[in-house]
Structure 1
Amino acid sequence: MSRRIARVLLDSPLPQLDRLFDYVLLDELGEVPIGARVRVPLRTAGRMVDAFVVELDTESDTERALSTVESVVSTVPVLPERLYRLARRVADRAAGSASDVLRLVIPKRQVRVEKAWKADAVAGTPSDEARERADAVLAEYAGLAALLDERGRGAVEAVPGVTGDALPWARLLSAAASAVLASGASVILAVPDHRDLDRLLTALSDFVPEDAIVRHDSRQTNPERYRGFLRTLEDAPCIVVGNRSAVYAPVQAGLVAVWDDGDPLYSEPLAPYVHARDAVLVRQEQEGSALLFAGHTRTSDVERLVQRGWLADVRAERRVTPRIVLSSPQEMEQPAQRVHSGAFTAARAAIAEGPVLVQVARPGFAPTLVCADCRAPARCAHCGGPLGASHRGAVPVCGWCGRAGLAWHCPSCSSTQLRLAASGSERTADELGRAFPGVRVIVADGAHPVEHVSDKPALVIATRGAEPIAAGGYRAVLLLDGSRMLQAPDLRIGESCLRWWSNAAALAAPGAPIHLVGVDGPVGRALATWTQPAYARSELESRAPLHLPPATRVALVEGVPASVARALEDLRRLPLPTDAVLGPVPVEGEDGRVRALVRFEYAAGPSVATTLRAAVVAEAVKRRRGRGQSNRVPLSVRLDMLDPEL
């Protein structure tokens, strides 16, 4: 006698349930494929939970006490074997749960969509004309076509500029996707936000048929997203285009490409907090697909892989360098002046030919106010948030709680007078509008999204990352508030500023002047010489002696003192340096909780992640047994968090 066994992964966030469980699969349930959704009883909780079938087996030991699968929710194999392996490997690297990773990629079931779905998609192939266009674009980059054919890995320095209404980087990724799709393999293209997604979809229309493109982003409705996910389960190759979670799409990928991996939107805010770049690296290791990291700048994480020889350095055959003009803080005529005279003159000359872009640090009118006498930051009397003004002469309003600061007085000097300390996009538009009478002024920020502007004269005031595309490119670009941006308390602020400025400079017309106002030093020189990889290399070299990421990996351990102490004691049994652990120290605003940092080399990553995961599971089991304890998690672990949090 024998019986069918289904090994399932429970859809549960509890760390102690992050493993496969055996259940009996009764004959009356019929054929159940691997990857199907089922419902199973959880004896410890006395309830039914959803699960995915990961393995099927037959055992002769019918005496072993096992629960049975209650029902089959759907026979659609939404969790193929390659997706489970990827989720398991990503979760293990980040000391997290595989079910948390799968929630990012497997949408909620849509019964109507599932019933209407037929796995009969036909592979869309690029036309001969599209292939010729793709070959011409790939030929602009040395060795890129051969790298794609050999399923190699590369860091691509994208060519700046604007061709009509299209961007060269979007055409580059589209051409690469077209070449791989023509070979019969699927492609994954990841971009940071919806603006880049729309630009990439527009460029793809010139290279591949529409039925070969599968969107994957948060703007889709649930039926649309589930319909697209079912398409990725089919054998017919396709091109998946989306944001950070698109890197988990269950296709047999021949190419995975990531645009602008330094954007913080690639960092997943939910457990296990895996950056899309790390997920892509794990995926390439498992599948052996081609891998491209493209951008106008290069992060120190990618540069580390280039220096180790794991990524090839891919550059254009004909290098294009924008015309960058620097003005140091010492060259500013007045201390509070925002626009250098040379930049102002260049903008006045260029405005007669077409649009001029002015990049600023913040949106709004005056996002920050200070005391007019002692310059102390103006804070809300109720919550301590910063006070700001929405327009000239407006009553100051708290940026956190929204209360008006009608009777504000300075706690330091008792003054009641306020002063504007920072200029937002709207105040800059107000000031420059008076300096350029008769010129159309366009504000582009989060509250005023603008995607495209014409080639007619206009002043475009945009916050970083919200710059619209100008037909034919901007005739001049002014990068303001650079010194203020560099003062942010962020380990990677230099890399971030260089990325913001380079992306804005890439929107300029050929030969157009680009003025970086009030900034000098290594970041300014890297922009002026367009040597962003060299700056990333210098950042990497300066971090190595200090054991800071990405030279090393860092884990954050937080919880009640006893739980953190036990986890750190387990880590000290590993062959780690004596100074690997920093802390623990009290967590600000969290009574009774402490935090510690653990620095370790990449080679020690598996042992550190396994040890910390075991500690989390052990503490979760203790909390489960102690019914009277607090509902707060006693121990949490996060690996490779963003540097601002570090």
Structure 2
Amino acid sequence: MTTVARVLIDSPLPQLDRLFDYAIPAELAADAVPGVRVKVPLRTAGRVVEGYLVELGDAEPSVRPLSELDSIISPVRVLPPALYALARRAADRAAGGAGDILRLVIPKRMVRTEKTWLAAAPLEAPVVGADAAEWATGILAPYPGLLEAATSGARVALDAPPRPSRDRVLGAWAELLAALALQTLAAGRSALLVVPDQRDQDHVLAALADRAPAESVIRDDARRSGPERYASYLRLLSPHPAIVVGNRSTVYAPAHDVGCVVVWDDGDPLLAEPLSPGVHARDAALVRQELEGSALVFAGHTRTTDVERLVQLGWVRDLPAERRESPTVILSATREGESRGARVPSAAFAAAREALVHGPVLVQVARPGYSPVLVCADCRTPSRCAHCTGPLRAKRPGATPDCGWCGRSAPTWTCANCTSTKLRMASSGSERTADELGRAFPGIRIVVADGAHPITEVDDRPALVIATRGAEPQAAGGYRAIILLDGDRMLMAEQLRIGESCLRWWSDAAALAAPGAPVHLVGVSGPVARALATWTQPAYARAELADRGPLAMPPTVRVAAVEGSSTTVTATLESLREAVFGLGPTALLGPVPLESGGVRALVRFDYAHGAAVAEHLRAAVVADALRARRAAKDRGPRTTLKVRLDVPELDL
């Protein structure tokens, strides 16, 4: 039989998310191998498009002759079979397209970089030095069974040590990840270290510096230039193991013989992919582990309900440390005789004063800026911009307020509720807190760390470091005291996972404390505060799961969001209920109108129905895209059905 090339076309159109058969002309037969970039004609569009040759197969009987491959773009096999299988499986689980995932992973071709790589001498296998291997063994020693699990393809969840490194300005968690990667590399296999952001990436790379062979450590992120990204990608395609450190898309990296995938802090929203099909790095890692049998480690200072659900099912094994470490957390409240509105209670104030004799003190606040929230001084109604209804803010006391959305100033603001013209600051941002504490601690160095003032580390000299959540710099030797402010305000956010998020923010900050240093959580009580004080984050996750189960809230169920015109969404939901047996009467929520037009509905379903629901919703997206294409030709109304699975919040 005739051999044909099966090609995945690089297109965002859902109807093109399948393999197309093309005949192979004789002049291209030698170079037409699986994994190469190709150009093919697309009859429906009347043009030539790019794609990937996924596989070779036997031609099926057809009444129409097959179109031929137009050209081979490059002889480099940039799409290994394992990467396509992973992208296909992850996309199918999320009712999306494999091409959308590959677009996130495979960089654009850089001709000069590719020629340099093809002409370069073959790489040598990396060798981990004896000192580095001994260091890694010592780092992993407090976790009995972790090394065996990481080399045997197990799935584990572990709590990282909540303290700074003893010899470098970084967290001990970064050394734990580096040690796992070094042991995997020493065994001749690759390791993927997936972290949320650049700060975490820098910490892990610093832990690997001077320990791992330099040519074996690959930094994978979108901040590098195109040639750098493509050169790193080509290095991963070589038959030699590597340590890859990067953000959420690193979970798909086509490294040679991956032995261990580590996902750090999977509760961080930066690990949730915003682009279609929106596969979370945690879910992609689970799919990869199932396909390839590599070890999978979920590490963090807290435990998400998503990972705890897997632990409860026995799919992921909880691997505790031999000796439990925890910071000294104090639930600090106002004492008798103190003003209930006091922002820093006397106990926390005294702890900061004493600690400043020895080194830096961290103060975590909820928001950046001077006063992020302004209210009417008479009726306490939040102030809004007259032009766009955005929140007003003030940079300094007495300054003219401006809008946080459109930036317009509001010198003649009037309250819409009581017509008052007086404003009052209702909250304190990082800059206002710095001013207040600067007056309370005269002569002490003040450091502000937030989005507008990014600071990665501070020295061990006395200083008050005012930082927003997630922007706390690492301190040499750790902070001598930590004060967590605005906790009650953080918990007031109307989000299902706000308790988890607060516990993660506070735990990550507490892990920056020097051994024995006090951590004061101000003005918070309840389950989240107790979990932080007793350092029992997994127990809090278990309690959250128990509460959400009867209410059918994620992650005890999966949730899909369906957006589009009212007619399309209603028809999709009706056909889904008929096609998928087992969807209960409360499975469908909505639809409700959207401000941008159209409607949105949510579908709650058990994990056992995941494949059927995803397949049906994907078919609905393809059918709607074909209808929209016909409507565009007829110049009729065009609608687009959007589907996203595994929505973390039931937010209509």
TM-score, length basis structure 2: 0.96
**Is 1:44 the equivalent of 2:44?**
yes
What is the aligned partner in structure 1 of residue 313 from structure 2? 308
What is the aligned partner in structure 1 of residue 212 from structure 2? 208
What is the aligned partner in structure 2 of residue 113 from structure 1? 113
Rounded to whole Å, the distance in 2 between the matches of 1:524 and 1:257 is 28
What is the aligned partner in structure 1 of residue 392 from structure 2? 387
Written as runs of structure 1 = structure 2, the 5 A alignment for 1:578-617 is 578-591=584-597, 593-617=598-622
Residue 62 of structure 1: CA displacement? 8.5
8 Å contact kept, 2:151–2:259: no
Residue 3 of structure 1: CA displacement? 4.1
Residue 57 of structure 1: CA displacement? 2.6
The more displaced of 134-143 and 354-363 is 134-143
Residues 401-435 of structure 1, C-alpha deviations (whole Å, 9 max, x = no match): 00001110000000000000111000000100010
4+ residue runs over 6 A deviation:
329-332
RMSD (Å), alpha carbons: 1.6
Q: Which one of the candidate residues 131, 134, 142 is aligned to 2:133?
A: 131
8 Å contact kept, 1:3–1:62: no
Rounded to whole Å, the distance in 1 between the matches of 2:127 and 2:586 is 52
**2:91 counterpart letter in structure 1:** A
Residues 60-117 of structure 1, C-alpha deviations (whole Å, 9 max, x = no match): 8696411111111111111110000000000000000000010110011101101111
What is the aligned partner in structure 2 of residue 517 from structure 1? 522
Residue 135 of structure 1: CA displacement? 0.7
Q: Which one of the candidate residues 527, 537, 541 is aligned to 1:532?
A: 537
Residue 58 of structure 1: CA displacement? 4.4
Residue 531 of structure 1: CA displacement? 0.3
The more displaced of 316-325 and 627-636 is 627-636
The more displaced of 575-584 and 473-482 is 575-584
8 Å contact kept, 1:380–1:386: yes
Residue 625 of structure 1: CA displacement? 1.4
8 Å contact kept, 2:365–2:485: yes
The more displaced of 52-61 and 197-206 is 52-61
The more displaced of 464-473 and 29-38 is 29-38
Residue 391 of structure 1: CA displacement? 2.0
Rounded to whole Å, the distance in 2 between the matches of 1:497 and 1:567 is 37
Q: Which one of the candidate residues 216, 221, 227 is aligned to 1:223?
A: 227
8 Å contact kept, 1:323–1:528: yes
The more displaced of 368-377 and 314-323 is 314-323
The more displaced of 227-236 and 22-31 is 22-31
8 Å contact kept, 2:31–2:72: no
**1:137 counterpart letter in structure 2:** I
1:351/1:23 Cα in 2 relative to 1: closer, same or farther (>3 Å)? same
What is the aligned partner in structure 2 of residue 95 from structure 1? 95
Written as runs of structure 1 = structure 2, the 5 A alignment for 1:258-297 is 258-297=263-302
**1:192 counterpart letter in structure 2:** P
TM-score, length basis structure 1: 0.97
What percent identity do the matched residue pairs reach? 59
Written as runs of structure 1 = structure 2, the 5 A alignment for 1:26-45 is 26-29=25-28, 30-45=30-45
8 Å contact kept, 2:155–2:296: yes
Residue 645 of structure 1: CA displacement? 4.5
Residue 594 of structure 1: CA displacement? 1.6
**1:127 counterpart letter in structure 2:** G
1:58/1:579 Cα in 2 relative to 1: closer, same or farther (>3 Å)? closer
Q: Match of 2:549, SS?
A: helix
**1:95 counterpart letter in structure 2:** A
Written as runs of structure 1 = structure 2, the 5 A alignment for 1:333-482 is 333-482=338-487
The more displaced of 574-583 and 88-97 is 574-583
8 Å contact kept, 2:144–2:321: yes
Rounded to whole Å, the distance in 2 between the matches of 1:332 and 1:56 is 80
Rounded to whole Å, the distance in 2 between the matches of 1:603 and 1:58 is 35
Rounded to whole Å, the distance in 2 between the matches of 1:300 and 1:463 is 24
What is the aligned partner in structure 2 of residue 552 from structure 1? 557
Q: Match of 2:89, SS?
A: helix
**1:129 counterpart letter in structure 2:** D
Rounded to whole Å, the distance in 2 between the matches of 1:214 and 1:268 is 21
8 Å contact kept, 1:296–1:499: yes
8 Å contact kept, 2:577–2:583: no
Residue 331 of structure 1: CA displacement? 6.8
**Is 1:22 the equivalent of 2:8?**
no
Which structure 1 residue ranges, 5 or more long, are not aligned? none
**Is 1:571 the equivalent of 2:576?**
yes
Residue 222 of structure 1: CA displacement? 0.7
8 Å contact kept, 1:18–1:98: yes
Q: Match of 1:117, SS?
A: helix
Residues 322-364 of structure 1, C-alpha deviations (whole Å, 9 max, x = no match): 1111024787932432111110011011101100000000011
Residue 635 of structure 1: CA displacement? 1.2
Residue 206 of structure 1: CA displacement? 4.3
Q: Match of 1:370, SS?
A: strand
1:60/1:370 Cα in 2 relative to 1: closer, same or farther (>3 Å)? closer
**1:11 counterpart letter in structure 2:** D
